[in-house]
Structure 1
Amino acid sequence: MSQLDEIGDADGWRCWLCDEPVDPDMPSNDPRGASVDTRITKARVKKMKKDKTPIPPERLAHKGCNTGKGAVDPVIVWPDHLIVVDPAPIIATAERLERKGGREAMARCPTDGDAQAAAQWLIDRLSRLCPGLSVKSKIDRSGGQFLVSLYV
């Protein structure tokens, strides 16, 4: 079994960046083909080794998603169907929750329904982004809006 197959099986053959299925039979040079992403830049890996910080595991990504992010830290985009204000960066938040636990404010929403939808999407997305991290959501009414938070 190849490294790509092992990583693909571990990630359920879903791209960790766009969360869409990856076809293992696609040619490797096709933008929808499978590739291995190291998740972080080489400079950050060097700093993590120096600081003796655990290095995140490699993840499965579409060739196009992996190439598109280039040598910069990846960003997971919030979907357009969610109505959120001041959305938090998902990967950085997930890393902090894994490392320190606690609670993180993720976004503000104009209605309770929007907040419920955002919280549900976040829990679902993080279950695949960080399979070992068990997070819960909390929605607080504040100043005429609804604050969506995640906590461990």
Structure 2
Amino acid sequence: MSKLTHFNEQGRAKMVDVSTKPDTVRTAIAQSSVQLSNEIYHLIRNNKMKKGDVLAVAQVAGVMAAKKAWDLIPMCHPIPINGVNIEFSWEQKDPNMYMLNIISSVKTKGNTGVEMEALTAASVTALTVYDMCKAIDKGMVIGPTFLIEKTGGVSSTDYLRE
């Protein structure tokens, strides 16, 4: 069994010390989604939402979120982010429902990974879509949100979701 590193000698949560770990290139890719109505799909695709270009605003929100993950999640380290990309794709689930898939990719050269940054980016992107469309329909469903892949680090523990 691996040693739990996020607890101090008193059994209380602590931020792990990564100061002795070497800098390596690290990447993470995460996904979230928003299930939404046919009406919202057409409003987004035709740029007719009253709040503006939903995907452009959500994309910027996702980039900003990746850079602020450390500010939101207590044990996250503030790390330099070298790149963030948010991509969208659509799936028609049935004649009245669409799924907006959100893929966030985050990259750094540092001493800790960017999984939380990628997950935060995907989540906030989805939340921003919800926020911009909720006046039309509050029944949208967000998720699931999950890590697809992570690379980098010295322990060679890359991850690829099966």
Shorter-chain TM-score range: 0.3 to 0.5
Greater strand share, 1 or 2?
2
Q: Which has the larger radius of gyration?
A: 2
When normalised by structure 1's length, the TM-score is: 0.35
What TM-score results when the alignment is normalised by the length of structure 2?
0.33
